[in-house]
Amino acid sequence: MLARRYIYRVIGLLVLLLFVAFFGVPLLWLLLAPTKTDYQLAHQAPLAFGSLGTFIHTFNRVINYQGGLMLTWLKNSAIYSGGGTALALLAAIPAGYGLALTQFIGRRTLLAVTLVVMIMPATALVMPLFLEASAVNLVGTAWAVILPFAFFPFGVYLAYIYFSSTIPKDLLAAARIDGAGEWGVFLHVALPLARPIVALVAFFAFVGDWTNYYLPFVMTYTNSEYPVTVGLQILIGSAPIFSPTASGYAGSEIYRPDLAMATLIGALPILIIFLFAQRTLVKGMLAGATKG
């Protein structure tokens, strides 16, 4: 009996380890790659450690690439994602609240529509959005990226779930009786209680915007407008090893460790935000699991 349980445990552990290895090894590789030169990367063992000096050197190369283009891209990403997230929150939180806790004609239909557009692949909308943006002369401006980012049905759905599962209707009734109008009820009672879901929606929106590639790729034209994701593509394009024809500018060749470093730099802001917001996020994700 005891032996059997022991065996199950060992098997369970092995399975878990397998998964850890499967997903962990590539991450580890990515972290280690910038510590090596291009030659070392190609010839040493995959998980070998190069040197800290090389790591710093690679970092400087990437940051200074073409006079700090990487920083411009990061700044663009921050503007697009920040603006998109802010607008998405402004729309999604009140929308979720309205769908969950107020009564109006067409509520169910609107909820169904939200679900449908939520499961629709976002890339499917990029072309029509581009035509729309170009029709109103927004292409090439930050708005062409920010406004589509503001459309975030998943956030509406998350807010809807949160409001309908965690906020007792009597609480809103109490506020109405206490003299609050509908906006007062939302601002004074519902919103302060919705902090975890505001954080969660903001996080998902921000990550989605930050990592989005196709939309900004279509909506922006020049190096100085690109966000990090599109910039990475430019970097790959100017790496001789991946595209021998594109020679790039003299002296600014990009090598494979540089690409790994650029990827790390691009992902870092999200990691930092996650670490800071972790506790609130977990609260938001667990909301509704327990009462009160």
Partner 1 sequence: MATVTFKGASRIYPRAKNPAVNELNLEIRDGEFIVLVGPSGCGKTTSLRMLAGLEPVDAGDIFIDERSVVRLPPRERDIAMVFQNYALYPHMDVAGNLGFALKIAKVKKSEIKTRVAEAAKILDLEDYLDRKPGQLSGGQRQRVAMGRAIVRQPRVFLMDEPLSNLDAKLRVATRSEIAALQRRLGVTTVYVTHDQVEAMTMGDRVAVMKDGVLQQVDVPSVLYDSPVNAFVAGFIGSPAMNLVEGTVGSEGVAIGSTVVAVPRALKDTAGTGKVTVGLRPESLELAGEGAGIPAVVNLVEELGAEAYIYARLAHHVDQATFAATPDFIVRVNPKSAPKSGSAVELHVKPDSMLLFDADSGARITAA
Residues of this chain that interact with partner 1 (CB under 8 A) are 168, 170-171, 173-181, 184, 188-189, 192-193, 292
Q: Please state the closest distance from residue 107 (CB atom) to partner 1, in A.
A: 13
Beta bridge partners of 287: 290
Q: Judged by CB, which is closer to partner 1: 187, or 271?
A: 187
Give phi and psi for 251, each to the nearest 5.
80, 0
The CB-of-209 to partner 1 minimum distance in angstroms stands at 29
Q: Which is nearer to partner 1, 20 or 174 (CB)?
A: 174
Specify the residue, 24 or 184, whose C-beta has the smaller distance to partner 1.
Answer: 184
DSSP, residue by residue, 236-284: HHT-TTT-TT---STT----HHHHHHHHHHHHHHHHHHHHHHHHHHHHH
Which residue lies nearer to partner 1 by CB, 165 or 252?
Answer: 165
Burial code of 247-266, b = ≥16 C-beta within 10 A, e = fewer?
ebeeeebbbbbbbbbbbbbb
Rounded to a whole number, what is the distance in angstroms from the first to the last CA of the chain? 41
Least Å distance, CB 282 to partner 1, is 19
| SS3 sequence of 27-90 | HHHHHHHHHCCHHHHHHCCCCCCCCHHHHHHHHHHHHCCCCCHHHHHHHHHHHHHHHHHHHHHH
Least Å from the CB of residue 191 to partner 1: 10
- Closer Cβ to partner 1, 75 or 283, answer by number: 283
Smallest gap from residue 183 Cβ to partner 1 (A): 11
Residue 287's φ and ψ, nearest 5 degrees, are -55, 140
**3-state secondary structure at position 152:** coil
Cβ-based nearer residue to partner 1, 71 or 174: 174
Could you tell me the smallest distance in angstroms from the CB atom of residue 90 to partner 1?
A: 21
